[in-house]
A and B are shown apart, each in its own frame.
Chain A
């Protein structure tokens, strides 16, 4: 992903994203662009949601909160390092909860799993990367957060 910047590469990644995660990820339109998470915002009370909601659960007034691109930066709230992985995942990997600018605390795999390099409160940025392999060994992509300093 870092060596190949062609637009077709972006299309390929699009096809590799887990179908359950696809509605939540906006890939960059140009090779130099950044990915974003797609959430939603209630037009009545202004609340943000990720993943997007069908109805605003706060006020029940907006039955189709509008899609919004969320900030692609975050701060690490907590994490753990997985050594006994679920099927398809390659241990060790780190996974945690990230605070994003819209005031949401979200679950996310992390790129860095060296305990010495992970710190609560560290600045992170969103990337789209391989998260696991399916039953046939095919790479499945999703979103991850990566330390800004690396």
Chain B
């Protein structure tokens, strides 16, 4: 694999845009990325579009990437869809990284998009994709993470207050970020007293329903100097699926541990070398477990990690300085690339909630469930490590 750089990123604002559609959202983010890279559209050689629910919600299983790029006059090149649960956007980035890294192409486009406000069943938890058997028994992602939280609390003494601290921290981080859906500060009491969704998780422990898109343009080391003197290097892009393990421990995610280890190995770094992380905080308890699974702290100490301010801006390892999924929202296929876009701005030193002097970023996206009654692992996990390329 040769070195691959990100030369441009773009995003839409994330929020509820009932009048929009996936093509319009994707087009806006893609155009922003093209302008950010200052690249001629004719230079784009291959494109991957990540989206997870456009088939189920809008009868657009395929062709989302073609339609978005059609509007921008990019056609004829290889374009394909990448569906991989909540990691769809990160997987699109990884496909683009491999396409350039292997030497087959010099310039690649990765786009992630989702529109969730159009879904039926407003006010009810989003069901997971392809889990018919579990769904007839009443399964939903908040239920999985409610079960995770109960056991983590029992095994390690993690408290509802510590979970709430994740939500409070991420909302505080969102304050200056104009792309976040929710920006007003919240208190621990407000999180604890918000309506219970699945005890022990209240509404403000769960990420909201959101529409949005994000995109990135990648190129090879050979051509990077044509576009920028400040490229961002993709030091690693790892992807894993959920490992099967009998009587799995619900307080740790095997796919996440493996993707993080792969990424650390590829990048030749460890958790101590990271300046900040954007993790998949779909539920507050998930972020606490991510600290543990990624080696930011020891197993069982995630609650204390947030309570002691280690994940705060200025802490040992700031987590989700952008506001995270909790504040930005989680348009499934867009999230992975939104994290990458926010990380690129941090590494360039131009983020609204800047981590001073950030040089190495860790981003992580994960999701999906196997449709079986046995306790299973999260079915996709993607970790990207980005570094300043100058």
A72, CB-defined interface residue at 8 Å: no
Interface-side segment among B149-157, B313-321, B327-335, B349-357: B149-157
Nearest-neighbour CB distance to chain B for A84, whole angstroms, equals: 5
Q: Give the Cβ gap from A41 to chain B, nearest Cβ, in Å.
A: 14
- Report the minimal beta-carbon distance from B346 to chain A, rounded to whole angstroms: 35
CA of A80 to CA of B143 in the docked complex: distance in angstroms? 7
- Most A CB atoms within 10 A — which of B125, B132, B198? B198
Q: Say whether A80 contacts B138, CB under 8 Å.
A: no
Contact at A115–B199, with CB atoms within 8 Å?
A: yes
Q: Which of B138, B197, B250, B374 has the most CB of A within 10 A?
A: B138
Q: Which of B123, B140, B247 contacts A99 (CB 8 A)?
A: B247
Question: Are B138 and A82 touching (Cβ within 8 A)?
Answer: yes
Give the residue of B136, B140, B200, B375 whose beta carbon is less than 8 angstroms from that of A105: B375
A77 touches B373 (CB 8 A): no
> Taking the nearest CB of chain A, how far is it from the CB of B12, in angstroms?
28
Tell whether, in the assembled complex, residue B137 and residue A78 are in contact, meaning their CB atoms are under 8 Å apart.
Answer: no
Find the A residue at minimum CB distance from B134. A107
Is B248's beta carbon under 8 Å from chain A? yes
- Whether B3 is near chain A, meaning CB under 8 Å from some CB there, is no
Q: Is the CB of B139 within 8 A of A97?
A: no
Residues of A within 8 A of B269 (CB): none
Q: Would you call B197 and A105 a contact (CB within 8 A)?
A: no
Min CB distance B195 to A, Å, is 7
Cβ < 8 Å to B, chain A residues 82-139:
82-87, 89, 93, 95-97, 99, 103-109, 115, 120, 131-132
A83-B250 Cα distance, complex, nearest whole Å: 21
With a cutoff of 8 Å between Cβ atoms, the chain A residues found around residue B246 in the complex are 103-105
Q: Which residue of A lies closest to B145 (CB)?
A: A80
B108-130 vs A, Cβ < 8 Å mask (1 yes, 0 no): 00000000000001011101000
Q: Is the CB of A20 within 8 A of B143?
A: no
Q: Is the CB of A20 within 8 A of B124?
A: no
Contacts of A74 in B (CB 8 A): none
Total interface residues on A, using CB and 8 Å? 37
Contacting B at CB under 8 A, from A4-22, are 18, 20-21
B171 to chain A, nearest CB (A): 21
Cβ-neighbour of A95 out of B127, B143, B196 (below 8 A): B143
With the chains together, A85 CA to B125 CA distance in Å?
8
Interface centre among B148, B199, B372 (most CB of A within 10 A): B199
Q: Is the CB of A106 within 8 A of B374?
A: yes
What A residues does B146 contact at CB under 8 A?
Answer: 80-82
Q: Are A20 and B132 in contact (CB under 8 A)?
A: yes
CA distance A93 to B148 in the complex (A): 17
Report the Cα distance A57→B261, complex, angstroms: 26
Query: Which one of A20, A93, A97, A104 contacts B136 once the chains associate, using CB atoms below 8 Å?
Result: A20
Partner of B375 from A80, A85, A106 at Cβ < 8 Å: A106
| Chain A residues whose CB sits within 8 angstroms of the CB of B134 once the complex forms | 107
Given A78-B150, A87-B124; A93-B198 close (CB under 8 Å): no
C-alpha gap A37/B373 in the complex (Å): 12
B67 at interface, CB cutoff 8 A = no
**Do A84 and B197 have beta carbons less than 8 Å apart?**
yes
Cα separation A84 to B250 with both chains bound (whole Å): 22
Q: Which residues of A contact B372 (CB under 8 A)?
A: 51
Which 8 pairs between the two chains have the least Cβ-Cβ distance?
A80-B146, A78-B151, A81-B199, A105-B375, A83-B196, A84-B197, A78-B147, A105-B247
Residues in chain B within 8 A of chain A (CB atoms):
121, 123-125, 127, 132-140, 142-143, 146-151, 154, 195-201, 244, 246-248, 250, 372-375
Query: A51-B133, A78-B148 are known contacts; what are 6 more A-B pairs with Cβ within 8 Å?
Result: A21-B133, A51-B372, A79-B147, A83-B195, A86-B121, A86-B124
- Could you list 8 examples of A-B contacts with CB < 8 Å? A21-B136, A79-B150, A84-B125, A96-B150, A97-B250, A99-B247, A131-B137, A142-B137
